[in-house]
Structure 1
Amino acid sequence: MQQMTPSDPHALLPRDAPVRLIDEDGGATADEVYAMPDADLLGRAYRGLVEGRRINDQANALVRQGRMAVYPSSHGQEACQVAASLVLGEHDWLFPTYRDSVAVIARGVSPADAMVLLKGDWHSGYDPHEHCVAPQTTPLATQLLHAVGFAQAAKHRGEDTVVLAMCGDGSTSEGDFHEAMNFAAVFHLRVVFFVQNNEFAISVPLARQTAAPSLAHKAIGYGMPGQRVDGNDVAALLAVLGEAVDRARDGGGPTLIEAHTYRMQAHTNADDDTRYRERAEVQAWAARDPLLRLRAHLTAQGLLDDAREQELADGAETIAAALRDALNTDTDLDPEDLFRFVHSTRSPQLEEQWRQLHDELERSGSATAGGAR
C-alpha cells in the first residue's frame, strides 16, 4: 500500500466496506491490496483463538465461583485480541484496556498474572517492561495518551518502537481519544490506534456515540489514514494491522484501524445486557464467530485435522487448569501496601490515614506484631 500523507486527503479515507480475506463460511476472498497471511501465521492465530476462547470461558466461571471480582469478556472478539499481539515485534509495545486480557496473555503474560487486576488484588500483576505490555486500564481512553507519550519518548531515543493502542468504540467519545490522535499525527509518531467497535459502550449503542460514516472516518480530521476491517476475520486483521505497524516503523506515522466486531456477552458480570439489546441480534452475530470461521478455512485448506484440533484443545485446557489453580489460592494481602507505594516518601496525610486503618485493624484483631496482614 502506498504511503498516505495529509497532502493526499482521499487516500486517508477508509474503504466503504471493511477489509475481509475470509468470509463467514471460511472461504478465501481475494483483495487487491491485502494478501492472505501465510499458513504458519494463520496456524498460530488459530491456536491463539482456541486458547483465548478457553481463557474467556474459564474466567467467567471463576467470577461465578467468587474467585474473581469482575471479568469483561472478549468472547467473540478473540480475533482482534490475537491479531493485536501477533503483528507486534518483540520490542514493540501494547497498551491494552480492561477487556484485552487475551491480548495481554498472547504477548507472554501468564494468565494468572493477567487476572490480578480483575481479581482485585493489585493494580497489575505483571512487569510491563518484561513483556512490553502496559498495565490494563479501566478508565476509558487514558491509555491512549500513555501510548502516545511512550511513542514520543521512543522517538526522542531514536528507537523504531511501534506502539499499538487498543480501545473500544465508547472510548472514541472521550476527550483523551481526540488529544491522543491529534498529538500522534502532529508529531508523526509510530502509533497504531486500534478501535474494537463491538457496537456497545456498556448499554449505549454506536448510533449514540457518533454520526460519522464510521469511526475510521475520524482519522482524516487528524491527518492520518483510517481503515475498516472485519473484526471477526483474523486473516484480514493480521493483514491490515500488520501493514499499519510496518508503515509506522518505516516512518509513515500513525494509523487508525476500526475493527467491526460484536460483544457476544454482557459488558461484565455486573451487567444485564437483555435490558438494551435483543437476543436475535446476538444470535445473528454468533454465525460470524471468528474461531469457527478460521477453523472452517484451515480445514478446507488441509491445514487442520482432528488430531491437531485435539492437541490445541488439550493445550488450552492446560492453561485453564493453571489459571484455576492460581486463583483458587488465597492471597496474603498487606493493607499497608495501599499506602506504601503511593510516593517514595509517605506524606503526613497518608501516614495519618495508615495509622487510622492500622488502629482499626488492631481493634478488630486483624493486626499482627509485624504489621497488619
Structure 2
Amino acid sequence: TPIAIIATPKAGVPGSPLRYQFEVKKWFYPDLPMPTLSITKFANVNTVQNPSATPFSIDAGFPKTGFKNAQFVLNILGWNDININSTYTWQSSDPALATVTNAGIVTLVAKPASAKEITITATPPAGSTNPPLTYKFKVETWFDPDMPMPAKPAPTAFSNITTPIVPSAQPFSITAGFPKTGFANAKFKLNINDVWDNQLNINDQYNWSSSVSSASVDATGTVTLLSKPSSPEQVRITARPKSGTGAALYYIFKLEKWFFEPTITTPPKPIMFTDITTPDVPATFTLTDGFPTTGFAGARFQINVTDNRVSDFTWSSTHSSVTVSNTGMVTLVSDPGSPTLVAITGIPKNGVIAEVQQYSFTLKEWFNPNL
C-alpha cells in the first residue's frame, strides 16, 4: 500500500506542500535474521564503457565482439535490488584472455587465437545455500577501437534465389542453374544481401536488367518468365550498383523445357450438414449441441446443408413422432411417450457426390406451450 508523508507550510510560510511517497513491500523484525533470498542466476550485464546503456539479458551471449581492455560487469542483486557482487568470490576460466574483479567487472585482456568460450564463476559466501553462478560468452570478432572501421566491401555475387510463388521453400543456391524449366508468369527472385549483415536485403541499391524479351526483371530483383523462347536460350540478368564502386552482378540461366502453366483446381466444398436453425424463434445451434431435448407439437427446426443444397438429399426420420420435409425442415408431431432418440438421415440423390448425413437428438421432455 502506498504511504505518503506530507509537509504543509505553516501559516505565513510561502511554498506548496511537500510530498514523499513510498511502499513497504516486505516486513521483517530487526531482531531476527533476514530470510534467505534465493539467487540462481545473474540479474543482467552492463557495459563499463557505456554504463547508461540498457543492460543486456544474461541470455544474450554478450559480448561476441571485443577489443583490448573492453569491460563489462555481471550484476548480482539482493534484497531491494541492491548489488551484492562484493559478497561473492569471482573467477575466470582463462585469466590470460579475460580477468574478473571482486566487483564482478570482466576485462578482455588479449585477443584469443580463435573463438573460445570463457566462463565467469561467482561463488557465494560461506554458509550460503545458493549455488555458484556461471556466465559463458565467446568473443568471435576482435577489433582495435582506435582504428577506423574498414570500408564495407561490395557484394561480389548474388546471395541466393527464392521463389515468390512458394515463399516458404528453401532458397536455391546461385550455382544451381535454376530454373531449367518454365511456364508463363513463373517467377523467382535474385537476392543480394549486405556483406556484413546477411539478413539485410539490398536489392533496392541496384538497377536491374534482362538480356532477353522473354524474361523481365523488376526493381526488386524478381524475374518473370513472359513467354516461351523459340529455342532453348541463355538468359542473363544484370544488377548494377546505383552508386559506389561495386561491380555489376550477373546471373545466367538457360530454359531447356517449357510447359503450359499448371491449372490448379480448387476441390469442391463437401456437401454436408452444417448447423441447425429455428425459424419461429431465430437461433442457431451446432451439430454437437444435441438440440432439441424438449419439444411440443408443431415445434420446428431446419437442418442446413452446404450452399443450401438441401434438395440434393432424400430425407427420412427414424421415429413416427417426428417428420422431415424434402428441404430438411424437421417438425415435432406428437409426444413420443418416453425419452426417445431420433435420427434424421439425408441420403445423397443419384449423381450427387456426398456422403450419407445424419443428425441425432433425444427428446427428453414434452410439454404444451399453450398451458
* TM-score bucket (shorter structure): under 0.3
Query: Which protein is bigger by CA-based radius of gyration?
Result: 2
Alignment TM-score, normalising by the size of structure 1: 0.18
More contact order relative to length (CA 8 Å, sep ≥ 6): 1
The structure with the largest helix share of the pair is 1
The structure with the largest strand share of the pair is 2
Alignment TM-score, normalising by the size of structure 2: 0.18
